[in-house]
Amino acid sequence: MTDDRERWALILGGSSGMGEATAVALARAGYRIFGIHLDFRAGLEHVEDVKRRITEAGSEAIYINMNAADDEKRAAALARLGERFDESRAGGRHPYVRVVMHSLAFGTLIPFIADDPKSAVNRKQMEMTQDVMANSLVYWVQDLYRGGFLEAGSKIFAMTSEGSSRVVPSYGVVSSAKAALESHIRQLAMELARQRSGVTAVAIRAGVTMTPALMKIPEHDLIIESAIRRNPTGRMTTPQDVANAIVALSGEGTDFISGEVIGVDGAEFVTGS
């Protein structure tokens, strides 16, 4: 069955790494892109470059620089998307958000236990990391669902990592957010299916990938060395690997894939040494 609706992708974290690569790949696959990102002045030139690559693909890029975990800003962003959808409808088209990708990297990277309390995680840091990296997914999906942006065939992807079930000294807070994110995906998949919405949700567990977020992890050298040694393909995962997988998983015939964690890592996770 052909889908003649106007396809949009909402990319949370669309200015860098996996979100950037997926935004460009989906644009090339015919999607219009609504990107949310948080960048300071030094990063804005790069954001313009991402938008240029999307438009050069014959698509459209609406990017908003904001904290994705801010309720009021989320409401304003969705109001803007709603206005854009109204323009499409006025032109006789039928827009919907087919792809939602949660690809936010914004967390505290310090341990739980330290002699100096300032060197150990506190409540504010724990809650902020959980809010951005896990719970924000639920609030975006709630508003998208209630706002009528999601329709049968819509797909939700959330980026998780091996850290959801393994430990690294500085990664404890993000690990807990990844475990929560995978749980949120299972719950959303079940509830959306029971609503007979036709909307699916999966977590994508990428292998270790060279991005700005990886380089912020204090143990990144060890993590990269371990990934290269362990990955049986002999190389690390790339943002393009993730983008290609999401384009494929957004295609036809994928409507019964839901509630799962899907690895995109060349079998890195399952390879012990």
Ligand X SMILES: NC(=O)c1ccc[n+]([C@@H]2O[C@H](COP(=O)([O-])OP(=O)(O)OC[C@H]3O[C@@H](n4cnc5c(N)ncnc54)[C@H](O)[C@@H]3O)[C@@H](O)[C@H]2O)c1
Residues that bind ligand X (CB under 6 A): 13-19, 36-39, 67-69, 103-106, 132, 159, 161, 206, 208-209, 211-214
Tell the smallest beta-carbon distance from residue 131 to ligand X (Å). Answer: 9
Tell the smallest beta-carbon distance from residue 169 to ligand X (Å). Answer: 16
Q: Cβ contacts of residue 48 below 8 Å, gap of 6+? A: none
Q: How far is CA 271 from CA 167, 182, 262, in A?
A: 16, 21, 15
Tell the smallest beta-carbon distance from residue 73 to ligand X (Å). Answer: 9
Dump strand ranges (E) for the chain: 6-12, 32-37, 61-65, 95-102, 155-160, 200-206, 261-264
Tell the smallest beta-carbon distance from residue 10 to ligand X (Å). Answer: 12
Tell the smallest beta-carbon distance from residue 130 to ligand X (Å). Answer: 12
Which residue is at the shortest CB distance from ligand X? Answer: 17
The alpha helices in 2-135, defined as continuous H runs, are 17-28, 41-56, 71-90, 123-130
Report the residue number, 6 or 209, with the smaller CB distance to ligand X.
209
Report the residue number, 156 or 213, with the smaller CB distance to ligand X.
213
Report the residue number, 154 or 231, with the smaller CB distance to ligand X.
231
Q: How far, in Å, CA of 138 to CA of 216, rounded?
A: 26
Report the residue number, 201 or 213, with the smaller CB distance to ligand X.
213
Q: Report the interhelical angle of 172-194 vs 123-130 (nearest 10°).
A: 40
Report the residue number, 159 or 168, with the smaller CB distance to ligand X.
159
Residue the block writes with tokens 């996770």:
269
